[in-house]
């Protein structure tokens, strides 16, 4: 398929919290010139990543680019309120007990086969598009359902402005999403610049759309499984109950067919959150700074999207080089975490991320802040 010469040139709109690094600008320019691209929106948490920058929204008419979604399909946020004040978690005895229980009941990588998670009916009754993907699901799916992963994924207990206790979880589809991306990228037949695409008017394109929707459901079930463990832990240790009617759920790595700019378009979001008018969302800071609950404002120029977090300021390698264990402890003052993991957590140091307040100011046109939260306790993997 070739783009029609009569189609207008693609457009670009950016909301930036500061100067963009030159390599990221080069990547965004390359994305803007891909075949079939209509519009690109850049969020204030933008930072360099493989193929497509995190913090990029891209609209196409017909082609789907798996690299513009990434491998952690369905990665997103879950927030749940509790019927208690956060001061109970600040108690050192309670904090230690909670961290130990999370370490025992929320694996960071894979489950022990003796404690496999039950696959929800919504996932168990549907299948992926190819036998090799179904085999990967059997070998990885139940082992990884209810597991956190590493990197910037976390389970965090937070306090809002009234000191009410909240849970926030950031995680995705684990290895399943990576397998789905790799499988479909290998079968992509359309090359545009340095990126491969699938035509959604073909069986191959529809298969990718089907499988990435399945991965989004898996990622959502993964977060819910971890939340259930946290709810049980707090109930057992502190007699605290969740108020699940106050839950907020959103994901920020996906492609979806949506109406924009007067036409039906394929909206690729890589590290960007849907922000339709009135839609609740969650924008985390770093593990030592504020996070926010928000409502979208439905800005069309951003393809009704917003930042998904603070965005990296330093690469993981640069953060490890710059920050020692003592730096991390200083940046995490007042926040409980497993100090035995301090060395591994240096790459996630709060100062490795952009100033979340600057990010929120830059996207004032995109979302409205409804709640401000601060971290009390953070559980992360190695």
Q: What's the pLDDT at 230?
A: 98
Q: What percent of the chain has pLDDT over 70?
A: 95
2 found inside a domain: no
Q: Is the pLDDT of residue 5 over 90?
A: no
Q: 291-340, pLDDT tens digit by residue?
A: 999 999 999 999 999 999 999 999 999 999 999 999 999 999 999 999 98
CB atoms inside a 10 Å sphere around CB 245: 7
Q: What's the pLDDT at 73?
A: 97
Is 135 or 255 the better-scoring residue by pLDDT? Answer: 255
347 found inside a domain: yes
Q: What's the pLDDT at 112?
A: 60
4 found inside a domain: no
**Stretch 161-181: mean pLDDT:** 96
Q: Is the pLDDT of residue 119 over 80?
A: no
Q: 153-168, pLDDT tens digit by residue?
A: 999 999 999 999 999 9
Per residue, what are the HEC states of 146-168? CCCCCCCCEEEEEECCCCEEEEE
Q: Which two tokens stand for residue 378?
A: 């953070």
Q: Which stretches of 169-248 are DSSP H helices?
A: 174-187, 203-238
The answer to whether 185 touches 51, Cβ cutoff 8 Å, is no
Q: What CA–CA distance (Å, rounded) separates 306 from 340?
A: 35
Q: 70-94, pLDDT tens digit by residue?
A: 999 999 999 999 999 999 999 999 9
The C-alpha angle with vertex 105 and arms to 103 and 108, in degrees rounded to 5, equals 60
343 found inside a domain: yes
Q: What's the pLDDT at 143?
A: 84
The partner residues of 11 in beta bridges, in order of sequence, read 39
Dihedral angle at the C-alpha atoms of 253, 187, 183, 200, nearest 10 degrees?
40
**What letter does residue 137 receive in the DSSP assignment?**
I
Is 280 or 117 the better-scoring residue by pLDDT? Answer: 280
The answer to whether 59 touches 303, Cβ cutoff 8 Å, is yes
Question: Which H/E stretch holds residue 362?
Answer: helix 356-362
Q: What's the pLDDT at 125?
A: 61
Q: Which two tokens stand for residue 332?
A: 């995490």
120 found inside a domain: yes
**What letter does residue 200 receive in the DSSP assignment?**
T
**What letter does residue 308 receive in the DSSP assignment?**
-
5 found inside a domain: no
Q: What's the pLDDT at 142?
A: 79
84 found inside a domain: yes
Rg (CA), the chain: 20
Number of residues in the chain: 382
Instruction: Give the chain's mean pLDDT.
Output: 92
Query: SS3 for 365?
Result: coil
Q: What CA–CA distance (Å, rounded) separates 82 from 324?
A: 35
Q: What CA–CA distance (Å, rounded) separates 76 from 204?
A: 26
CA nearest to 240, candidates 154, 147, 166: 166
The answer to whether 154 touches 172, Cβ cutoff 8 Å, is no
**Stretch 98-115: mean pLDDT:** 84
CATH number, residue 313: 3.90.1860.10
* Residues 6 or more apart whose Cβ sits within 8 Å of residue 341: 380, 382
Positions marked active-site: 308
Between strands 76-85 and 54-60, the pairing is: unpaired
Q: Which two tokens stand for residue 234?
A: 């707090």
3-state helix, strand, coil in the chain (%, to 5): 35, 30, 35
Q: What's the pLDDT at 60?
A: 97
C-beta contacts of 129-138 below 8 A and 24+ residues apart: 129/207, 129/208, 129/210, 129/211, 130/183, 130/207, 132/183, 133/179, 133/180, 133/183, 133/211, 136/175, 136/176, 136/179, 137/176
Q: What percent of the chain has pLDDT over 90?
A: 80
The partner residues of 273 in beta bridges, in order of sequence, read 306
Number of domains in the chain: 1
Q: Is the pLDDT of residue 2 over 50?
A: no
Q: Is the pLDDT of residue 114 over 60?
A: no
Residue 36, phi-psi category: left (phi > 0), alpha (psi -120 to 50), beta (remainder):
left
Q: What's the pLDDT at 134?
A: 87
Could you list the residue range(s) of the whole structural domain that residue 241 is in?
A: 11-380
Q: Which two tokens stand for residue 236?
A: 């057992």
Q: What's the pLDDT at 3?
A: 43
The partner residues of 143 in beta bridges, in order of sequence, read none
301 found inside a domain: yes
């Amino acid at each position: 398929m070739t783009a029609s010469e009569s189609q207008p040139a693609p457009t670009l709109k950016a909301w930036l919290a500061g100067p963009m690094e030159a390599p990221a600008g080069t990547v965004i320019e390359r994305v803007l010139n891909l075949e079939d691209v209509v519009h690109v929106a850049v969020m204030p948490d933008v930072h360099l990543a493989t193929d497509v920058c995190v913090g990029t929204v891209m609209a196409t008419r017909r082609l789907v680019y798996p690299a513009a979604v990434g491998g952690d399909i369905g990665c997103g946020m879950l927030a749940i309120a509790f019927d208690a004040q956060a001061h109970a978690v600040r108690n050192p005895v309670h904090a230690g007990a909670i961290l130990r229980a999370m370490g025992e009941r929320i694996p960071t990588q894979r489950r022990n086969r003796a404690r496999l998670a039950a696959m929800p009916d919504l996932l168990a009754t549907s299948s992926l598009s190819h036998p090799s993907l179904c085999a990967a699901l059997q070998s990885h799916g139940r082992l990884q359902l209810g597991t956190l992963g590493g990197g910037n994924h976390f389970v965090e207990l937070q306090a809002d402005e009234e000191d009410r206790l909240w849970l926030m979880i950031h995680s995705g589809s684990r290895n399943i999403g990576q397998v789905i991306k790799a499988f479909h990228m290998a079968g992509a037949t359309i090359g545009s610049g340095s990126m491969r695409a699938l035509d959604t008017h073909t069986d191959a394109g529809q298969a990718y759309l089907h499988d990435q929707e399945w991965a989004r459901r898996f990622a959502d079930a993964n977060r819910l499984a971890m939340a259930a463990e946290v709810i049980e832990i707090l109930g057992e240790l502190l007699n605290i109950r969740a108020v699940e009617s106050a839950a907020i759920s959103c994901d920020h790595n996906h492609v979806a067919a949506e109406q924009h700019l007067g036409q039906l378009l394929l909206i690729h979001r890589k590290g960007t959150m849907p922000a339709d008018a009135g839609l609740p969302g969650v924008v985390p800071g770093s593990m030592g700074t504020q996070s926010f609950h928000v409502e979208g404002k439905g800005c069309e120029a951003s393809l009704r999207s917003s930042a998904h977090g603070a965005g990296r300021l330093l690469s993981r390698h640069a953060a490890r080089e710059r920050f020692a264990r003592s730096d991390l402890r200083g940046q995490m003052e007042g926040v409980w975490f497993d100090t035995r993991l301090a060395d591994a957590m240096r790459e996630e140091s709060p100062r490795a991320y952009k100033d979340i307040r600057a990010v929120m100011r830059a996207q004032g046109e995109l979302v409205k802040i409804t709640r401000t939260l601060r971290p009390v306790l953070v559980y992360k993997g190695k």
